[in-house]
Amino acid sequence: MSEKTVYPFGGSASHDDTRQKDKEVTGGKGANLAEMASIGLPVPPGFTITTEECVRYLQEGADFSDGLRSDVAKALTHIESAVGKSFGDSADPLLVSVRSGARVSMPGMMDTVLNLGLNDATVEGLATTSGDERFAWDSYRRFIQMYSDVVLGLDHGLFEEALEIAKEDNGFYADTELSADDWKTLVGEFKSIVEQEWGKPFPQDVNEQLWGAIRAVFDSWDSDRAKVYRRLNDIPADWGTAVNVQAMVFGNMGETSATGVAFTRDPATGERAYYGEYLINAQGEDVVAGIRTPQYLTKVARENAGAKPLSMEEAMPDAYGELARVFDLLENHYRDMQDIEFTVERGKLWMLQTRSGKRTAKAALKMAVEMVGEGLITKEEAVARVDPMALDQLLHPTLDPDAERSVLTTGLPASPGAASGKIVLDADTAEVFASRGDKVILVRVETSPEDIHGMHAAQGILTARGGMTSHAAVVARGMGRPCVSGASGVSIDRAGRTLRIGSQELKEGDEITLDGANGQVMLGIVPTVDPELAGDFGTLMEWADALRRMRVRTNAETPDDCRMARQFGAEGIGLCRTEHMFFDARRIRAVRQMILAEDEKTRLSALDQLLPEQRGDFAAIFEVMAGLPCTIRLLDPPLHEFLPHNDEDFEDLADATGLGVDHLKRRADELHEFNPMLGHRGCRLGITFPEIYEMQARAIFEAACAVQKSSGEAPLPEIMIPLVATRKELAILRALVDRVAKTVFEEQGTEVAYLVGTMIELPRAALMAGEIAEEGEFFSFGTNDLTQTTLGVSRDDSAKFLAPYVDKGIFARDPFVSLDVEGVGQLVDMAAESGRVTRPDIKLGICGEHGGDPASIAFCEEVNLDYVSASPYRVPIARLAAAQAALAAD
Ligand code: ADP
Ligand code: MG
Ligand code: MG
């Protein structure tokens, strides 16, 4: 019960407790700092407060426990003795950073506070011990700025403005031109801003500073920003964040000091080349904040970019050599590409962070495949490592290399892919435009965590400032959005909602195209070409296919979709909906005639018109799916959905049928339903209008026989009766299908194999599955309806309350996106089990949207389904997820 609340790292700390290297306990940053320290890398000493303490603090109404207070005090002495300085000592002060760190990196969390422990007295001590007064006052002003922003919640614009004015007054361009006295004056101004805005003087008590920062980290777990990010990334609300307090090392101690961020391989392309940026005489966030333009890490990268300022390799060869050694060491240790943050203090390298780096899907594939080749990882690990959802980025079109491009300006190729859309200048507008179906490009000076929702709504992101590791670049790569950053040819007039790109004047709503692979920004919409499915993609998918047990089918109802799905590797159709085939303008008239007919004769004449059309539909699909199983669902939606909508529809129908408009309207009124989703639909249609299902069955069998004759490759039709609740319904309709099959086979003088089965999508069907299996040769879990009917939640009306439900942790994820495994999953498990008892060779699959969701696919593996079915673009995702599920099950 009395687990440790605080874990010291670095210095003489022992890192033996396994909990310390467990991200769930110490967060990603804390766990990796301990790991790096334990393998002997230079990590400034510090300590980590556990995520458990954060959860406890939030549960107990934002209160620190006494235990935590004394544990932190003790851990602080660990840092003091390791560094040989005391916290708050005005002669030789220890300064620390306070850093948040959840299990996974979260841009929504509190920003880091650096140089904590400075006050009016300790700043003098720092000046003396460092022998650099300018450095001391620069650090103090940074501290006030950061603390005021992230802990006190004051408007950071006020401080930036004061700094801008100071620079202008002196005719300075860069921060580095300010002298010790300039910074001293500015500190005075900063302090009066704080007093004015906050109502109290800037805290001078170093312990008050420390606890204020710890509190701010804990509180930030429940900030709006963090909540949005959690929702978008399916991060549970009960994880909490750890806090890392760490001795400062200084990259701002003059020309032999620097700070930087790096990747051990190129996170955009996956190429095996060190990749990163650094800044001389700078601290922490300067690199990513886009305040100064960072310099390249390697000579090659600098030369390729045609840049002048020296690379780190050239300017600081010793520190660079050490860094390169650490890169290789870390990559071998973690057996993955690492994203690294470091600082050089007067020539000495210090490691401040490492983690497995975010990467584009393309890079993820390349690295996974190459690391297998290098012997660093196994094929299984390669397959397990690529995020299936990320594949989506690769399946979509890229810019047509032959298309004409009217290039307005070029920025940095921060995240690859092509994106076209209307310009929007802020995140909220992006959301509004996107919600009405517009494709948008978010254009900002630079992005911050407050922009996440807009970045998500946008097709692509363009920023005027910021490097390859800026917020925009990192987040866009993570989200799979194309991004061009640091396009200095872009200038934005936010008030006027206009902008200039290169020499072109544009306004919000105008269309542009981004090429994230080369940084080009183009006028208008540039045409695209289809993706390349061979190469690394093909290799990894081959490995995945060899590892998976479940089959992967597709949900498709047009020959084009089927063709695409087969290119993506579909092994059959899991759900062919037939209702969409009825909506075509010509056919809808016959459909309406059919359902509004009062006598069988009129109905049959309408069905006669539909039969050849349906037969043609199925034949075209069967040709594409040659030889593969095709589950075809007989008509399912409420008749209601086919009713005429307006007078024009009625008149058109009256002309076609010879029936009066009034008569038709009366009949339509009779068919009107209050709750159509629970109304006259599914097999209830087949029971009440057997002619409809007869026509469909006939169309299927005739088409199958025809394809069998013409190509010799009959598909395996699996005729699926929807919305069955009782054995009797299925028995009646199965007899109907068998009867039609027999007739058609006699007429055609040939036979094809087929199955009849049902969708399990009502709780009663799941409960009675053992009995239903006596009539059905397969079950396909229709988890969309099964979720609606089990939860009693209408999918179409749930948007209003599901988001807050997810925020409050009532559901970990939207149950329509990811299967509610505990609830709905129990029904699936039970039905699969009792279905198998009745009929050991029963075929079991899933055809709801969940069939393309990796977490739901993992569940399907657990309950031993035979296949999953997903929309065409999700097929590769499902193949990879099924392989991962099989690996996890081993
Ligand atoms: P984030 O999670 O946003 O990356 P970090 O906690 O990693 O935030 O801090 C951001 C940057 O601040 C680091 O990359 C590093 O440059 C700087 N930093 C953090 N702690 C220290 C420290 N103890 N000494 C020097 N720089 C630090
Ligand atoms: Mg940060
Ligand atoms: Mg960091």
658: which residues sit within 8 A by CB, 6+ positions away? none
Check whether residue 471 and residue 455 sit in a common domain.
Answer: yes
Check whether residue 654 and residue 799 sit in a common domain.
Answer: no
pLDDT given for residue 386 in this prediction:
94
Query: Which of 705, 737, 758 is the C-terminal boundary of a domain?
Result: 758
Residue to mutate, 341, 348, 358, 469, ligand 1, most ligand atoms under 8 Å from C-beta:
341
CA pseudo-torsion sign 857, 861, 863, 864: positive
Residue 385 lies in a domain: no
Q: What angle do CA 710, 715, 717 make, to 5 degrees?
A: 130
pLDDT given for residue 392 in this prediction:
79
The answer to whether the CB of 790 is under 6 A from ligand 1 is: no
- SS3 string, 98-150, reads EEEEECCCCCCCCCCEEEECCCCCHHHHHHHHHCCHHHHHHHHHHHHHHHHHH
Average pLDDT over residues 146-171: 92
The answer to whether the CB of 353 is under 6 A from ligand 1 is: yes
Query: Which residue's alpha carbon is nearest to atom 20 within ligand 1?
Result: 97
Compute the distance between CA of residue 771 and CA of residue 631 in angstroms, rounded to an integer: 21
Atom of ligand 1 nearest to the CA of 244: 6
Residue to mutate, 29, 99, 110, 116, ligand 1, most ligand atoms under 8 Å from C-beta:
99
Atom of ligand 1 nearest to the CA of 283: 16
513-532 core/surface letters (b: 16 or more CB in 10 A; e: else):
bbbbbebbbbbeebeeeeee
Q: What are phi and psi of 769, to 5 degrees?
A: -60, -35
Least confident of 73-87, 435-449, 555-569, 661-675: 661-675
pLDDT given for residue 775 in this prediction:
98
Residue to mutate, 352, 447, 470, ligand 1, most ligand atoms under 8 Å from C-beta:
352
CATH number for the domain that contains residue 474 = 3.50.30.10
383 C-alpha to ligand 3 centroid (Å): 28
In this prediction, residue 361 has a pLDDT band, given cuts at 50, 70 and 90, of confident
Q: Beta-carbon neighbour count of residue 256 at 10 Å?
A: 16
The answer to whether the CB of 343 is under 6 A from ligand 1 is: yes
Domain count, the chain: 4
The pair of structure tokens assigned to 50 is 């556990």
DSSP type of residue 519: T
Q: Token match 């459909």: residue?
A: 591
Q: Assign 654 to helix, strand or coil.
A: helix
pLDDT given for residue 288 in this prediction:
65
Q: Beta-carbon neighbour count of residue 488 at 10 Å?
A: 12
Cβ proximity of 464 and 513 under 8 Å: no
Amino acid code (one letter) for 289: A
Residue 547 lies in a domain: no
Check whether residue 720 and residue 771 sit in a common domain.
Answer: no
Active site residues: 471, 847
Cβ proximity of 468 and 414 under 8 Å: yes
Compute the distance between CA of residue 655 and CA of residue 807 in angstroms, rounded to an integer: 54
Give the residue among 755, 417, 378 at the shortest CA–CA distance from 547: 378
Cβ proximity of 629 and 572 under 8 Å: yes
Average pLDDT over residues 409-428: 92
Residue 570 lies in a domain: no
Average pLDDT over residues 95-122: 91
Compute the distance between CA of residue 632 and CA of residue 614 in angstroms, rounded to an integer: 12
Flag whether pLDDT at 440 surpasses 70.
yes
Residue 121 lies in a domain: no
Compute the distance between CA of residue 294 and CA of residue 281 in angstroms, rounded to an integer: 11
Rg over alpha carbons for the chain, rounded to the nearest Å, is 32
351 C-alpha to ligand 1 centroid (Å): 10
Check whether residue 444 and residue 312 sit in a common domain.
Answer: no
Query: Which residue's alpha carbon is nearest to atom 8 within ligand 1?
Result: 112
Query: Which of 726, 758, 790 is the C-terminal boundary of a domain?
Result: 758
DSSP type of residue 451: G
Helix (H) or strand (E) holding 226: helix 224-233
Q: Beta-carbon neighbour count of residue 534 at 10 Å?
A: 8
Compute the distance between CA of residue 519 and CA of residue 526 in angstroms, rounded to an integer: 14
The 10s digit of each residue's pLDDT in 184-200 is 999 999 999 999 999 99
CA pseudo-torsion sign 641, 642, 643, 645: positive
Query: Which of 758, 789, 808 is the C-terminal boundary of a domain?
Result: 758
Residue 334 lies in a domain: yes
Give the residue among 34, 36, 1, 29 at the shortest CA–CA distance from 18: 34
Check whether residue 739 and residue 779 sit in a common domain.
Answer: no
pLDDT given for residue 93 in this prediction:
97
pLDDT given for residue 290 in this prediction:
61
Flag whether pLDDT at 410 surpasses 60.
yes
The answer to whether the CB of 246 is under 6 A from ligand 1 is: yes
Using a 10 angstrom Cβ sphere, with 0-12 exposed, 13-18 middle and 19 or more buried, the burial of residue 181 is exposed
657-684 core/surface letters (b: 16 or more CB in 10 A; e: else):
bebeeeebbeebeebeeeeeeeebbbbb
784: which residues sit within 8 A by CB, 6+ positions away? 761, 795, 816, 848, 849, 850
Compute the distance between CA of residue 738 and CA of residue 729 in angstroms, rounded to an integer: 14
The answer to whether the CB of 455 is under 6 A from ligand 1 is: no
Average pLDDT over residues 634-651: 87
Q: What is the mean pLDDT of the chain?
A: 92
Strands 113-116 and 490-493: unpaired
The 10s digit of each residue's pLDDT in 504-543 is 999 999 999 999 888 999 999 999 887 778 899 999 999 9
The 10s digit of each residue's pLDDT in 784-820 is 999 999 999 988 788 778 878 887 888 888 899 899 9
The answer to whether the CB of 99 is under 6 A from ligand 1 is: yes
Q: What are phi and psi of 162, to 5 degrees?
A: -60, -40
The answer to whether the CB of 259 is under 6 A from ligand 1 is: yes
Check whether residue 436 and residue 468 sit in a common domain.
Answer: yes
Q: Which ligand is nearest to the CA of 100?
A: 1
341 C-alpha to ligand 3 centroid (Å): 6
DSSP type of residue 723: S
Flag whether pLDDT at 449 surpasses 80.
no
CATH number for the domain that contains residue 878 = 3.20.20.60
Using a 10 angstrom Cβ sphere, with 0-12 exposed, 13-18 middle and 19 or more buried, the burial of residue 212 is middle
Compute the distance between CA of residue 245 and CA of residue 79 in angstroms, rounded to an integer: 9
Average pLDDT over residues 433-451: 90
pLDDT given for residue 291 in this prediction:
66
Residue to mutate, 47, 87, 97, 248, ligand 1, most ligand atoms under 8 Å from C-beta:
97
The answer to whether the CB of 44 is under 6 A from ligand 1 is: yes
Give the residue among 813, 807, 887 at the shortest CA–CA distance from 856: 813
Cβ proximity of 628 and 572 under 8 Å: yes
56 Rama class: left (phi>0) / alpha (psi -120 to 50) / beta? alpha
Check whether residue 584 and residue 679 sit in a common domain.
Answer: yes
Beta bridge pairs of residue 275: 263
pLDDT given for residue 774 in this prediction:
98
pLDDT given for residue 1 in this prediction:
45
Average pLDDT over residues 32-54: 97
Check whether residue 768 and residue 751 sit in a common domain.
Answer: no
Flag whether pLDDT at 397 surpasses 80.
no
Residue 365 lies in a domain: no
Cβ proximity of 337 and 359 under 8 Å: yes
Query: Which residue's alpha carbon is nearest to atom 27 within ligand 1?
Result: 284
Residue 204 lies in a domain: no
Residue 739 lies in a domain: yes
Compute the distance between CA of residue 584 and CA of residue 565 in angstroms, rounded to an integer: 23
Check whether residue 790 and residue 736 sit in a common domain.
Answer: no
Range of the domain at 411: 397-529
Q: Assign 187 to helix, strand or coil.
A: helix
CATH number for the domain that contains residue 275 = 3.30.470.20
Check whether residue 507 and residue 472 sit in a common domain.
Answer: yes
Compute the distance between CA of residue 67 and CA of residue 4 in angstroms, rounded to an integer: 10
Q: What are phi and psi of 675, to 5 degrees?
A: -140, 70
Beta bridge pairs of residue 349: 344
Check whether residue 872 and residue 776 sit in a common domain.
Answer: yes
Flag whether pLDDT at 565 surpasses 80.
yes
The answer to whether the CB of 248 is under 6 A from ligand 1 is: yes
Amino acid code (one letter) for 626: A
Q: Beta-carbon neighbour count of residue 197 at 10 Å?
A: 14
Strands 412-415 and 504-507: unpaired
Flag whether pLDDT at 735 surpasses 60.
yes
The pair of structure tokens assigned to 154 is 């004051």
pTM of the model: 0.78
513: which residues sit within 8 A by CB, 6+ positions away? 399, 405, 418, 419, 420, 521, 522, 523, 524, 525, 526
Check whether residue 752 and residue 772 sit in a common domain.
Answer: no
In this prediction, residue 289 has a pLDDT band, given cuts at 50, 70 and 90, of low
pLDDT given for residue 144 in this prediction:
97
The 10s digit of each residue's pLDDT in 222-280 is 988 888 888 878 888 899 999 999 999 999 999 999 999 999 999 989 999 999 999 99
Dmax over Cα atoms in the chain, in whole Å? 103
The 10s digit of each residue's pLDDT in 751-784 is 999 999 999 999 999 999 999 999 999 999 999 9
Give the residue among 682, 577, 579, 580 at the shortest CA–CA distance from 630: 577
Compute the distance between CA of residue 105 and CA of residue 158 in angstroms, rounded to an integer: 29
Strands 520-523 and 407-410: antiparallel
Query: Which residue's alpha carbon is nearest to atom 26 within ligand 1?
Result: 284
pLDDT given for residue 134 in this prediction:
94
